[in-house]
Chains A and B, each alone.
Chain A
Amino acid sequence: MSTTSSHAAEHVHDLGMPGNPISTAIASSVASQGEKQTALKAKDMKTDQEVRWCPGCGDYVILNAVQSFLPSLGIAREDMVIVSGIGCSSRFPYYMNTYGMHSIHGRAPAIATGLAASRPDLSVWVVTGDGDALSIGGNHLIHTLRRNVNLTILLFNNRIYGLTKGQYSPTSEVGKVTKSTPMGSLDHPFNPVSLALGADATFVGRAMDSDRKGLTDVLRQAAEHQGTSLVEIYQNCNIFNDGAFDLLKDPATAPQWTIPLVHGEPLVFGPDGAACVVRDEVGGLRIAETNQVEAAEIVVHDAHRQDPSYAFALSRLSTQDLRYTPMGVFRSVQKPTYDAMMAEQLDVARAQETADFDALLTGNDTWTVA
């Protein structure tokens, strides 16, 4: 089933499981306030905490975009939780007037999994960075994606370690000269979108920090997606890796190297639509010149394809220096969520047996001493 922004009002997806068994203690606590306040504005999402990112950091733009668009989801602030790890981006929860946890390095997806699995009534978000999610927390990320827990993960990728002052990250390009790699880094970078698709993620998107419209559009689809959504956000670190995404930001070069992904539209891009994406001879995708191929050969983007190999092939078009970078939603497919299935197992168990605690303590083999 497709999820588009026009459905936002009737599908408050992350909250869409009324009737899920929550304990009476929790239910009485959360139900004590009457009508939910959901008519919110961007300013309602702000906290009294001073934002402490470096002036000019891409994180500001992302924070503003998120604060502006979240109210439109129609979710009350108290029903949202933002969990982060460690790193510059992970300060995000302090600036959002929701529930939040600034946790430990790399573990936010695991913490959020426990929260979302036990509270399917909440809208749970993870904010993480390239080091947090892909290096120290790589294991949790891939397992969260394969389980399809109902979470929205925002991965701020600045291709550098910022908070520790400028070492190369798992997304830095080979040969990157940093404080810890004076002769250039030897590591091959992860492509976060490829990694997520390799883990069979049900929703994977990519957006640019400075592209308010594109970012908001991907975030909205991610928020409405049932299951784990991963959004890679290219984010400029103006202190340690300034200009990392200029190729895709500079109006002079961006059209040539950006492949906009629009579901149902042919993958044509570049100045005057000069370039396009076609199938290659071995089942993958390649870039072609539009005037050299038949119109029918041009691939029409289908984000809802169940088989992740098409989306994976799309993610492999880009090079480590960001030429031919697809931006938008790579994949958005429906699959049962982990939290819903877990709740269902509890329902099934309750239907099959009465929860007689005395009988449980007693067990099958008891004897009585008079």
Chain B
Amino acid sequence: MTATDPSLVPSTSAPGGLVKSVVSLDRVVIRLAGDSGDGMQLTGNRFTSETASFGNDLSTLPNFPAEIRAPTGTLPGVSSFQLHFADHDIMTPGDAPDVLVVMNPAALKANIADLPGGGLLIADSDEFSPRNLAKVGYASNPLEDGSLEGWQLVSVPLTSMTTEALKDSGLGKKEAERSKNMFTLGLLSWMYHRPTEGTIRFLERQFRRKPEIAAANIAAFRAGFNYGETTEAFAVSYEIKPAPMAPGRYRNISGNQALSLGLVAAGQRSGLPIFLGAYPITPASDILHELSKHKAFGVRTFQAEDEIAGVSAAIGASFGGALGITTTSGPGISLKSEAIGLAVMTELPLVVVDVQRGGPSTGLPTKTEQSDLLQAMFGRNGEAPLPVIAPRSPGDCFDAALEACRIALAYRTPVILLSDGYLANGAEPWAVPDVDDLPDLTEAVRFATEPNGENGEFLPYLRDPETLARPWAIPGTAGMQHRIGGLEKADGTGNISYDPANHDFMVRTRQAKVDGIAASLPPTEIDDPDGDARVAVIGWGSTYGPIGAACRRIRRSGRSVAQLHLRHLNPMPADLGDILRRYDRVVCPEMNLGQLAMLLRAKYLVDVESHTQVRGLPFRAAELAAVLQDAIDLTQGAPLGADASGGAE
């Protein structure tokens, strides 16, 4: 647990004899909402860091517009950050907030419908000016007209208290106002007993070159904390005990961070240099940013002129013996398709990271979706199979990235790693792995240095009998000169071949190579604590959290459900068909229109029931629990009494 600034320790009594009580909670969901320029993401991230270092389990959901700065105070400009933290293991950022903080009328309008009745609503009353109210169509001030009486409304003049606290800082009013997010963070830190030292250190570090700004932000942060301590507006503060976690070192990590570190790890564990070719695209750019910082680890990053150049350069680097990687989102995958086909044909290692977002076309750049699965599977001309894998939580992006690299290297194939916007920006505590425990990838790499043909020649398409991988001979190796390319090649020699039987053989062999990866996969894990489930729910990717939370609710209501979650989407685990056939019903929730369900039905002839949503947001656990409850009740003939849709995770 991080030390707390000694001046900022919540007490049960404040100056002036004000009595404050402390209430213990097991979990809280807070949503901060404001204008894009209000710094809500930063505030949310800081609160998350404080919460992580305190030892709660947590899960976050940043939600922001694609516009960098939509017109101030308008609905399109609203940015929010939701954080769920608890004294126990949780799986989602929470279906609905318990506490909503709104920095202006637009934030109130965009978010109030999500706050359940009786929830705590904190509003910056200074921003509810007639002008700001008019911008979003409020005829009267909702903070004053009684329309919010279904909630516990606390109007706080956050902006003016911030400027008052900074009146001696030497900053202008406009500049001082910008610290209101830190004032708010201070207030929340008091309310939830968060450690504050980390935020103060962060502000000092962040504004190293502008000490006056650092000082102002720290002063605003302290003022917010002290306001909570002394005001009568907040009589209660809350305590959420640390969550029991397995022993180890932990840090807070977002999906894009974890994925980046997984790629660096693959370089470290394979002994290969990493080469990233990428074009900036939301929500994948942070991987490029992160990897560009790790040059000391032999990581080269190349910001290409376009998506195609990004993947092409990665293929060139792989030909030269690097681990070539390209990162993008849906529109970029469309552009890279032909080059990915080249990597299929030339059988070179390549990792293609697709951080999925809402589609089609430009779609919803900052919102999450799982709608690129079929494109990843089939979105290339010809029979162009490749492995597809997906992480299921922010921290899991690390392991999934390593696994993608293992397969790419061992099988000499492009691999598509399907992350999504929710995983990319969401965060959770992550047990820092021991470097020595990470998979050793050196065996997967061995470059070919000796001719393998009977007559002393090098045959670039003479395959390993077990993996069907072809030898990887890199330029600079004498006697191994060879030519590869996109034209069909003769088995063994790799020379251009238009022979019908050879083409048929090569198409089937490339497919067999990918299918054969299933042999290296562990058996499918079935999560069915009671062992008597007749309904299974199957998912992939970021739906793991909401599905898992829904399963917990189902089990608490006395029902049984089996949860399966696929990391490997191609090839699928060898035992999957048999497992699916054991259940009376199989439900498949997805943030698309049923892409995995379609694959499962086609491959296994199992009557998978698809449940879909494409709102650009993760599923709510309660909604999925209701879907599962219906499926179970139908299976059992008569509905059970208990309702599984309510309650906590």
Contact = CB atoms under 8 A, between A and B. Distances in A.
Interface of A: 21-26, 29-30, 32-33, 36-37, 47, 49, 76-81, 83, 86, 93-94, 96-105, 107, 110-119, 121-122, 139-140, 143, 342, 345-346, 348-350, 352-355, 357-358, 360-363, 365-370
Nearest to B445: A25
A117 B251 contact: no
B572 interface: no
A23 B317 CA distance: 13
Given A26-B474, A104-B339, A32 B298 contact: no
A134 B296 CA distance: 37
Interface in B494-518: 495-496
A112 B245 CA distance: 49
A102 B342 CA distance: 10
B566 interface: no
Query: How extensive is the interface on chain B, given as a class?
Result: 35 or more
Contact of B306 (A117, A139, A368): A139
Contacts of A80: 475
Interface of B: 1-2, 49, 52-53, 55, 198, 245-253, 261, 264-265, 268, 270-273, 275, 277, 294-298, 300, 302, 304-306, 308-309, 312-322, 324, 338-339, 341-342, 346, 432-433, 435, 442, 445, 447, 449, 474-487, 495-496
A114 B475 contact: no
A365 B251 CA distance: 6
A367 B294 CA distance: 23
| A-B pairs with lowest CB-CB distance, top 9 | A102-B485, A114-B313, A114-B316, A30-B476, A349-B295, A110-B312, A115-B316, A111-B316, A143-B305
Contacts of B322: 23, 26, 118-119
B314 A366 contact: no
B306 A78 contact: no
Contact of B478 (A37, A139, A346, A354): A37
Contact of A370 (B247, B273, B447): B247
B312 A111 contact: yes
B270 A25 contact: yes
Contacts of B253: 363
Q: For B49, B265, B275, B320, which residue has the most chain A Cβ atoms within 10 angstroms? A: B320
B297 A36 contact: no
A122 B449 contact: no
Contacts of B487: 102
A79 B475 contact: yes
Contact of B316 (A23, A83, A348): A83
A365 B252 contact: yes
Given A117-B275, A361-B261, A352 B435 contact: no
A139 to B, nearest CB: 6
24 contacts: A26-B321, A26-B474, A29-B447, A78-B475, A78-B479, A93-B483, A94-B496, A100-B481, A102-B483, A103-B315, A104-B338, A111-B313, A114-B313, A114-B315, A115-B475, A140-B305, A143-B309, A342-B302, A357-B264, A357-B268, A360-B264, A362-B432, A367-B52, A367-B53
B179 to A, nearest CB: 22
Contact of B248 (A32, A33, A93, A369): A369
Nearest to B398: A361
Q: For A77, A78, A112, which residue has the most chain B Cβ atoms within 10 angstroms? A: A78
Q: For A49, A139, A355, which residue has the most chain B Cβ atoms within 10 angstroms? A: A355
